């Protein structure tokens, strides 16, 4: 087997057999990859390793690749950096669950994407450290993801405009079709695209406004990538925020 070192963010896990786990990671070395972890769920297995494979947890690892096996394996795996709040704060853990599911459904590439990986890795640290503005973090994350995935607005925002999802641009007149963001959601999209994550508390939104923008962004992302429309953690997220 060929060995290699890398970093990853946990996106999803599946139980396999009585004691094993399939772990899906966004990695710096190969985009999205799946890993077989054997014995991690058995009573006598490496129970401490199971705690590493939670949604959006960062890991560093030495992987093993074999041409005869479809999935990679870990020779060694450990925490990428210590998380102080995400595992214990229900708001942040709920948001991490949502972010991981969105990434799991959006990212299918098996090629390294340093810009995307760096953003996601740093976002985990930012979410863990942020003290104020937590309720807006997932909205900022979705806006930034649209930029990284290549379908952010193709022109500059003008106050009072609508964002036409089909055309990928802000327009001065309300579109005649239904695939557009309202004027308020369009303004918020532009604000979030240009906001520093450390200043999210300055964006004052009601729960209804957050829900409206979240729904609009899922339609926007779903127009380009159908899989995002099936995100299950949205319901939990709306209950918390």
Least confident range of 21-25, 91-95, 139-143, 224-228: 224-228
* Sequence-separated (6 or more) residues with CB below 8 Å from residue 121: 7, 9, 28, 58, 80
> Measured between alpha carbons, how far apart are the two ends of the chain, in Å?
46
**Which of 20, 53, 79 finishes a domain?**
79
Residues 74 and 153 in one domain: no
- Cβ–Cβ < 8 Å for 41, 21: yes
The model's confidence at residue 34, banded by pLDDT at 50, 70 and 90, is very high
Residues 70 and 137 in one domain: no
Query: In Å, how far are 54, 151, 233, 237 from 222, measured between CA atoms?
Result: 25, 11, 15, 18
Q: Is residue 98 part of a domain?
A: no
- Say whether pLDDT at 47 is over 60: no
The model's confidence at residue 229, banded by pLDDT at 50, 70 and 90, is low
**Which of 79, 114, 143 finishes a domain?**
79
- Say whether pLDDT at 208 is over 80: yes
The model's confidence at residue 27, banded by pLDDT at 50, 70 and 90, is very high
134-181: pLDDT as tens digits: 999 999 999 999 999 888 899 999 999 999 999 999 999 999 999 999
- Cβ–Cβ < 8 Å for 210, 95: no
């Amino acid at each position: 087997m060929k060995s290699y070192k890398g970093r990853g963010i946990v996106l999803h896990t599946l139980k396999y057999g009585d004691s094993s786990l399939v772990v899906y990671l966004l990695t710096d070395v190969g985009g999205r990859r799946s890993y077989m972890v054997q014995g991690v769920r058995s009573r006598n297995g490496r129970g401490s390793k199971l705690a590493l494979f939670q949604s959006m947890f960062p890991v560093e690892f030495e992987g093993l690749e074999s041409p005869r096996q479809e999935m990679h394996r870990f020779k060694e795996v450990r925490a990428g950096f210590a998380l102080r709040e995400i595992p214990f704060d229900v708001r942040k853990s709920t948001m991490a669950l949502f972010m991981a599911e969105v990434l799991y459904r959006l990212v299918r590439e098996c090629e390294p994407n340093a810009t995307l990986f760096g953003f996601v890795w740093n976002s985990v640290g930012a979410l863990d450290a942020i003290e104020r503005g937590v309720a807006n973090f997932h909205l900022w994350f979705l806006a930034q993801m649209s930029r990284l995935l290549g379908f952010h607005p193709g022109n500059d925002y003008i106050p009072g405009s609508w964002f036409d999802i089909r055309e990928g641009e802000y327009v001065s007149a309300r579109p005649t079709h239904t695939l557009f963001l309202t004027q308020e959601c369009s303004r918020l999209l532009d604000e979030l695209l240009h906001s520093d994550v450390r200043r999210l508390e300055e964006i004052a939104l009601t729960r209804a406004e957050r829900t409206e923008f979240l729904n609009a962004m899922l339609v926007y992302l779903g127009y380009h990538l159908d899989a995002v429309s099936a995100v299950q953690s949205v319901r939990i997220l709306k209950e918390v925020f």
